[in-house]
Structure 1
């Protein structure tokens, strides 16, 4: 396409905020907003020293960006929550360097919505083709063996797959309101045994003298976010070497600023008459969606995690008219507490022909197995759902 110049940017701050926001539009989720991604970089949660080098690709027409691909050069696979160790082992067997690799996602957040963003009234397929060609040339010339787009936006997937990306199907958890207006109404969807179990779990927290306070908007300030960071840090420390402590204190403090705090919902658990919180969880919201991100607790109280991370957020979401809740990565225990299994799609490009030739047929097989596993899990749920639509595409 004429008059377009491709540039690689090693910091989001090289791209003016108003240009970025014009491209991503009003309806993108908070994890791709300029302020969110910039806060990750300026807080040094995301930087080359942490194994996340920002490397955003922008197509410019004179001084105006026409398309952008948020990308990162990764020196490891931590913080992605799509587990690609099988690809890393294959690379090792082929005497290839698996790292660094290019990653497209909102860092540290397993949140669906990744895509290239385009200016209005442009040919999106032509721009996609051009950006993929630019990525391929950059990767090959710099000895990078793969480019991986994680948690892709379903509306963008067709554009990317038309450029010969390989599809990998994993799974995620999702709660759906499906017309419920209150928690008691929502509970009616469960079978009697699990309905009693959820009531028992919530009662156990109540009997421990715990109350959960919801904090939003102007109630969110720097001291509260410092507390949330402390809980996050304590929770990560419990897992020792396996603790996924990626975010700095500065990032949590940045979330209390006007441009970001309106996306936050905190669930703050107090015990008895004390105002000192014993547990907190942090969720992100927009008009229709809630995302569960981080939590921590000072005390081991039966079912407190379920209350602070699932039940209180679901109750709040129903009151707000929010229809979807993504509770975060992992945890088969989520199925019994109202979350269905759904597809999570990532798209991949490999630049070594041997690796590409070996992986693509394997993906076709494992994708079919994963589709069957998702169907099986949803057939065994202890509550009624409208069956999710699963793709039969390889």
Structure 2
């Protein structure tokens, strides 16, 4: 087998890429990655240079990984700025580095996309070794596999990569019949608080509706992109996703794009842009025209929970960070990434740091679960990742 790198996702046939196991995840589909490249969100200017890894067995695509040469650490959500600063203080270059990830998307899933006709373990080991060999051949500082699934992480750990834990907050569907059934498992105080937050939204004259990507109009994309841009600017962030990119995702991914739209007298005033797979809803972008009481909670959390219940999705990952999600039904959930630094001294130092960080993250997640709104007997029965 031969491992090659391509400078654009368009250099591999979409049908071949999407036939690999794991590409049903919307963020790993050829259409999603291509849209980011077509509209400049992934570009050298933004620090993401495509370097996708393809493992070929003659004319058969045996495996692949979405990979990038990174000129910075923005848009990754696994924060290694301190490592970059340490390199700089010692006169070394941390950038570029090789990153296997989904740009701007802290979503969990496979990072090794495998042809089901081949033994999975062998493909994983070949990809892990091959990425490291490419790192060495290019003389870049390191290789990083971000938000990878357990099977990938096990392979990478066995290949001398150091594992880093993170903490997100995920909602799990316990087979609820409706939103009230979900609330019934909570303490009275938490249940009343959520009902009050939802009631305030309605009292402001706001209504909610769900729109899928294949149903969104040009006018709606105009409004949603305006909300997204405004919110990013207000928080000092760069809105790299263009309106045309959002519209292309809606067109190409169709019902895998889920929009929760808040309207005032029929006019959109806020919205959340989400994606979904066969079993998971992923929250990604949010924005609003102006501030409304509790509208963020309704649009970004409660609408998503209700959608999962109605459509039978197993879980809802609303995005990175946000401890306030716990009191609203999202439980601390560990995420994993794997890292290999070429420099032996820094590899040892980072490995030591991560060995000490992991139990602290685990303890943080356990402590935070004490704030979960569920009654004790209900919490014990909830499914976990």
Q: State whether TM-score is above 0.5.
A: yes
1:340 aligns with 2:336: no
Please state how far the C-alpha of 1:95 moved relative to its aligned partner. 2.4
Give the Cα separation in 2 of the matches to 1:345 and 1:129.
18
Secondary structure of the equivalent of 2:267?
coil
Match of 1:265 in 2: 258
Match of 2:74 in 1: 78
Which 10-residue stretch deviates more, 348-357 or 259-268?
259-268
Please state how far the C-alpha of 1:190 moved relative to its aligned partner. 1.6
1:248 aligns with 2:245: no
Q: Which sections of structure 2, spanning at least 5 residues, go unmatched?
A: none
- What TM-score results when the alignment is normalised by the length of structure 1? 0.92
Please state how far the C-alpha of 1:107 moved relative to its aligned partner. 0.9
Give the Cα separation in 2 of the matches to 1:386 and 1:56.
42
Give the Cα separation in 2 of the matches to 1:323 and 1:129.
30
Match of 1:293 in 2: 284
Match of 2:26 in 1: 30
1:99 aligns with 2:90: no
Are the counterparts in 2 of residues 68 and 116 from structure 1 also a CA contact under 8 Å?
yes
Are the counterparts in 2 of residues 210 and 269 from structure 1 also a CA contact under 8 Å?
yes
Please state how far the C-alpha of 1:192 moved relative to its aligned partner. 1.3
Give the Cα separation in 1 of the matches to 2:278 and 2:64.
25
Please state how far the C-alpha of 1:381 moved relative to its aligned partner. 1.5
Secondary structure of the equivalent of 1:335?
helix
1:305 aligns with 2:286: no
Are the counterparts in 1 of residues 213 and 250 from structure 2 also a CA contact under 8 Å?
no
Relative to structure 1, the CA distance from residue 363 to residue 118 in structure 2 (aligned partners, 3 Å threshold; closer, same or farther) is same
1:329-376 alpha-carbon deviations (Å, 9 max, x no partner)? 121111111111010100011100000111112211110111011011
1:370 aligns with 2:361: yes
Q: Which sections of structure 1, spanning at least 5 residues, go unmatched?
A: none
1:132-163 alpha-carbon deviations (Å, 9 max, x no partner)? 33322322232211111010012322222221
Equivalent position to 2:212, from 201, 211, 216: 216
Are the counterparts in 2 of residues 267 and 280 from structure 1 also a CA contact under 8 Å?
yes
Are the counterparts in 2 of residues 102 and 146 from structure 1 also a CA contact under 8 Å?
yes
Equivalent position to 1:181, from 160, 174, 177: 177
Relative to structure 1, the CA distance from residue 134 to residue 351 in structure 2 (aligned partners, 3 Å threshold; closer, same or farther) is same
Match of 1:323 in 2: 314
1:6 aligns with 2:10: no
Match of 1:68 in 2: 64
For these two proteins, the number of residue pairs brought into alignment is 382
Which 10-residue stretch deviates more, 218-227 or 187-196?
218-227
Give the Cα separation in 1 of the matches to 2:6 and 2:155.
23
Secondary structure of the equivalent of 2:290?
coil
Are the counterparts in 2 of residues 9 and 57 from structure 1 also a CA contact under 8 Å?
yes
Q: Which runs of 4+ in 1 moved over 6 A?
A: 387-391
Give the Cα separation in 1 of the matches to 2:69 and 2:324.
34
Match of 1:137 in 2: 133
Give the Cα separation in 1 of the matches to 2:21 and 2:238.
29
Please state how far the C-alpha of 1:59 moved relative to its aligned partner. 1.6
Give the Cα separation in 2 of the matches to 1:268 and 1:131.
41
